[in-house]
A and B are shown apart, each in its own frame.
Chain A
Amino acid sequence: MSQSNAGPARSLVRPLSPHLQVWRWHVTMLGSILHRATGVALYAGAALVTAWLACAAAGPTAYGAFADFGASAIGLLVWIGLTLSAAYHFASGIRHLVWDTGVGLTRKAASAAATLSIWFAVVATAGFWVWMFVSQHVMWNGRILL
């Protein structure tokens, strides 16, 4: 943790981002790690959505190539992963916004919010994709996804 720009006033070494192995596992910690991990996953997701838009702008041929990827087994796995990441980051983000107002900062409430965020993500993702398959927006071997 070198602070190369530290003057005399800043030479004090302050505790920044304590490392993982210091802590006993608890659900708020899992919630925090997942929030960051899903955020990074959504970074790739945003690139993918931008690629989708660029392909749509480039015309039917490019769009077809993108849709082929999107409808493949790997593509489907990527979409489901992104839905899960977005649903979790969404719920967990609201949890953070609530905390920022000073509400829900007791140990019990914080743990409940973390657990709820994780369950929300799982249930919302499952619901979304079950609906997609049931309403035949997606089929396993038809290329209907995009």
Chain B
Amino acid sequence: MTSFATDRRRVEGSGSAHHGAGTWIKERVSSLILVPLTGWGFWAAASLSGSGFDGVTRWLHSPVNATLLGVLMLVSLYHMQLGLRVVIEDYVHKPFGKVALLLLNALFCLALAVIAIVSIILIARQGGAGA
């Protein structure tokens, strides 16, 4: 029987995610952004260690530090949401369990992002809620 499906229609959705290359590209773009930011993160962690509560809050009063840490957290959390999504799509095949886990993954990453950003802003503006 002749198939009238286009080449694209024939290959799209054949992977375990049942969609195209969008997630794959987002993963790559976020990882490119993370290459320099991760290096900065290591350096920041090393220079911050041992500085205690006062040192950390003072460090976050710098807009450059607060912004870079905020971007690092957001892009990391976005990247890891995409990454765990692929793991779930690869190993969980029951529709309900898969959708539930994908939703949980997205909500958990979103919750972490909100907590991280709100915390950074609180510290940067007034030295924390307790100050």
Contacts and interface: CB of A to CB of B under 8 A. Distances in A.
Contacts of B91: 17
Contacts of B3: 9
A74 interface: no
Contacts of B83: 39, 43
A6 B2 CA distance: 19
Interface stretch (A23-31, A61-69, A111-119): A61-69
A17 to B, nearest CB: 5
B93 interface: yes
Given A43-B80, A46-B112, A50-B115, A9 B5 contact: yes
Interface in A43-59: 43, 46-47, 49-50, 53-54, 56-59
A17 B76 CA distance: 25
Contact of B115 (A39, A53, A96): A53
A84 interface: no
B80 A56 contact: no
A132 B15 contact: no
Interface residues of B, number: 48
A1 B112 CA distance: 32
Contact of A138 (B50, B60, B130): B50
A128 to B, nearest CB: 7
Given A56-B57, A83-B42, 10 more contacts: A2-B93, A9-B10, A53-B73, A54-B116, A57-B119, A57-B122, A63-B53, A64-B53, A128-B46, A146-B50
Interface of B: 3, 5, 9-10, 13-16, 18, 28, 31-32, 34-35, 38, 41-42, 46, 49-50, 52-53, 56-57, 60, 73, 76-77, 80, 83-84, 87, 90-91, 93, 95, 112, 115-116, 118-120, 122-123, 128-131
**Which 5 A/B pairs are nearest by Cβ-Cβ distance?**
A59-B130, A57-B119, A53-B119, A137-B49, A57-B122
Interface of A: 1-2, 4-5, 9-10, 14, 16-17, 36, 39-40, 42-43, 46-47, 49-50, 53-54, 56-64, 67, 83, 86, 90, 93-94, 96-97, 100, 128, 131-132, 136-138, 144-146
